[in-house]
């Protein structure tokens, strides 16, 4: 007895497959052939491409965080240590950001001279965008017409040699105030916090040159100096969004964005008041007078409309922020390190003081014209900048297009850090590289003006620091006066050889422990 059973969908499918089996097998074979050939072709292309796109050496990385776990608090030290193992051109993956680290003069020349146009851009970092009015400054503005014209204004009108000379009276007045303040400590027999004293000097000089008044007179308190220091600290803070764009929102949760905005808004109010005061006083003249401060000059350029770009009020404020961030802590730090190194080397301190005192003689004050004759003082400053560049990692660059360096392919949008600190301590270039030896520059033509890539504290090329002449003029005059008027000791009979030289990393690298010294009047 047979049961009748209607065909199920599975049975119908099997029957259909049996009818179409020869056609399916043929299609399957064709598909597999094409698939295998595609794999072979892609592998061949991959090999060819890998040869053409050979990336620089890189340390092993972890998933997601990349090489971040290999970095310590002092980035320039961490970069140098890794470069000693992986070479002077090294690719790191800091989170999702590819970072090229340069640690030799030869590679620095390739970046800042031979391929300067490829690496002229700056990465738009979180703190920079907020603090510098969406990068309307000179230091971080994107490469283009706006940046070219704003840099031209800074180099020719604000920070050129003639303009720096025109502010000679400001430097002399403020340094006279510094000497009087230290003299009071001499009379009391009390030590001086030289770190704070030099920072105040820098702020006052830059405030007078920028605003026509001292920083402590802004709002009748040291508000501007206080806020500027906060900005410098925030610029050196870790931003999650800069390394993990997909986690940018976490910078809000950590409070970084809030702190940046609050501090910048407070500074913005001060800037607005200063600009409005200049406008009300009618201090903008039809010609560029040497007595004008920086705000006058920028307002003059804005009013004349001689440029093909629009200079907004925010542009002016961004430039002013550049001046203070790049010109205060850096000059104070350089002078502080010079004094610390000389104090640790009594023979060199004596040699520098004898030169300054011999050239100045019995004049009532140290004049800038005298400094041109102080060869050893200049050597001391060069050696200080070699060992202690204020910015040990030059401001980061970013590749505009793909390029090749030393046989390695550098993809576009790669951040580039040039480790000036490591380059300037390279034992392959410098004899006794870790020692403070100003005499090494006595017979050397190597200078810090951007042509000698073994000494690049101010960078080189299109993105070099436009404020170099302004900063050096302050450091030279301040150091010459400190050496001329006073003899220096560590308080409480501390040994000079034991002076702590530990660094503190931020936007600039200064002494972790402020320099407290006991001055005494020099008696001829």
- Residues whose CB is less than 8 angstroms from the CB of residue 502 and which lie 6 or more positions away in sequence, other chains included: 511, 512, 513
> Residues 6 or more apart from 331 whose CB is under 8 A from it?
198, 202, 390, 471, 474, 475, 478
Phi, psi of 169, rounded to the nearest 5 degrees: -65, -35
What are the beta bridge partners of residue 97?
94
Closest to 129 measured CA to CA, from 145, 140, 114, 138: 140
- Residue 445: how many other CB atoms lie within 10 Å: 7
End-to-end CA separation in angstroms for the chain: 135
Long-range CB contact pairs, 18-27, < 8 A, 24+: none
Residue 186 known to bind ligand: no
φ, ψ dihedrals at 353, nearest 5°? -65, -40
Name the nearest CA neighbour of 320 among 398, 218, 241. Answer: 218
Euclidean distance between CA atoms 318 and 305, whole angstroms: 18
Q: What's the rounded Cα separation, in Å, for the pair 63 and 286?
A: 61
Exposure string for 332-353, b = 16+ CB within 10 A, e = fewer = bbbbbbbbbbbbbbeebbebbb
In DSSP terms, 410 is beta-bridged to 403
The number of angstroms, rounded, from the C-alpha of 377 to the middle of its chain's C-alpha atoms is: 25
DSSP string, 324-341: HHHHTHHHHHHHHHHHHH
- Residues 6 or more apart whose CB falls under 8 angstroms from that of 14 comprise none
Assign 3-state DSSP to the chain and report helix, strand, coil percentages, each to 5.
55, 10, 35
CA distance 110 to 407: 12
Distance set, CA 469 to CA 142, 149, 197, 440 (Å)? 24, 20, 22, 22
Query: Which residue has tokens 């510094």?
Result: 178
Q: How many CB atoms lie within 10 A of CB 30?
A: 10
Q: How many C-beta atoms lie closer than 10 Å to residue 49's C-beta?
A: 12
CB contact at 8 A, 189 and 382: no
Which residue in this structure is represented by tokens 């090749």? 404
Q: Look at residues 73, 80, 69, 135 and name the one whose alpha carbon lies nearest to residue 102.
A: 80
**Maximum distance among all Cα pairs of the chain, rounded to whole angstroms:** 136
Can you say which residues are annotated as belonging to the binding site for heme? 465
Can you say which residues are annotated as belonging to the binding site? 465
């Amino acid at each position: 007895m047979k049961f009748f059973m209607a065909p199920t969908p599975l049975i119908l499918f099997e029957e259909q497959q049996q009818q179409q089996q020869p056609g399916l097998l043929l299609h399957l074979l064709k598909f597999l052939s094409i698939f295998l050939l595609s794999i072979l072709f892609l592998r061949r292309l991959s090999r060819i491409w890998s040869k053409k796109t050979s990336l620089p050496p890189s340390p092993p990385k972890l998933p997601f965080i990349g090489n971040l776990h290999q970095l310590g608090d002092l980035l320039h030290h961490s970069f140098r240590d890794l470069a000693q193992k992986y070479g002077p051109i090294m690719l790191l993956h800091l989170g999702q950001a590819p970072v090229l680290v340069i640690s030799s003069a030869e590679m620095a020349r390739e970046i800042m001279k031979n391929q300067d146009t490829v690496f002229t851009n700056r990465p738009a970092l979180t703190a920079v965008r907020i603090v510098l009015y969406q990068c309307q400054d000179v230091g971080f503005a994107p490469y283009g017409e706006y940046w070219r014209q704003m840099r031209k204004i800074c180099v020719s009108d604000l920070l050129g040699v003639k303009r720096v000379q025109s502010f000679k009276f400001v430097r002399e007045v403020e340094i006279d105030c510094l000497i009087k303040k230290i003299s009071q400590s001499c009379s009391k027999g009390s030590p001086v916090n030289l770190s704070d004293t030099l920072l105040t000097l820098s702020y006052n000089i830059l405030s007078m040159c920028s605003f026509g008044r001292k920083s402590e007179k802004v709002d009748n308190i040291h508000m501007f100096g206080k806020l500027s220091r906060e900005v410098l600290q925030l610029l050196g803070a870790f931003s999650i969004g800069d390394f993990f764009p997909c986690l940018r929102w976490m910078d809000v949760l950590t409070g970084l964005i809030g702190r940046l905005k609050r501090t910048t808004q407070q500074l913005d109010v001060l800037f607005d008041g200063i600009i409005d005061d200049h406008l009300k006083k009618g201090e903008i003249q039809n010609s560029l007078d040497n007595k004008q401060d920086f705000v006058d000059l920028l307002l003059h350029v804005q009013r004349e409309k001689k440029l093909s770009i629009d200079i907004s009020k925010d542009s002016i404020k961004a430039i002013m922020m550049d001046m203070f961030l790049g010109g205060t802590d850096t000059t104070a730090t350089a002078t502080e390190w010079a004094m610390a190194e000389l104090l640790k080397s009594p023979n060199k301190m004596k040699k520098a003081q004898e030169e300054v005192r011999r050239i100045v003689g019995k004049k009532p004050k140290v004049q800038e014209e005298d400094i041109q004759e102080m060869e050893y003082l200049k050597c001391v400053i060069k050696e200080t900048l070699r060992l202690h560049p204020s910015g040990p990692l030059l401001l980061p660059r970013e590749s505009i297009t793909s390029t090749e360096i030393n046989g390695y392919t550098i993809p576009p949008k790669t951040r580039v850090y040039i480790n000036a600190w490591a380059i300037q301590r390279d034992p392959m270039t410098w004899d006794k590289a870790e020692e403070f030896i100003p005499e090494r520059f006595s017979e050397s033509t190597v200078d810090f003006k951007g042509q000698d890539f073994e000494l690049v504290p101010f960078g080189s090329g299109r993105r070099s620091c436009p404020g170099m002449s302004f900063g050096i003029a302050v450091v030279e005059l301040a150091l010459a006066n400190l050496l001329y008027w006073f003899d220096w000791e560590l308080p409480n009979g501390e040994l000079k050889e034991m002076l702590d030289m530990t660094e503190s990393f931020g936007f600039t690298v200064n002494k972790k422990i402020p320099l407290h010294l006991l001055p005494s009047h020099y008696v001829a």
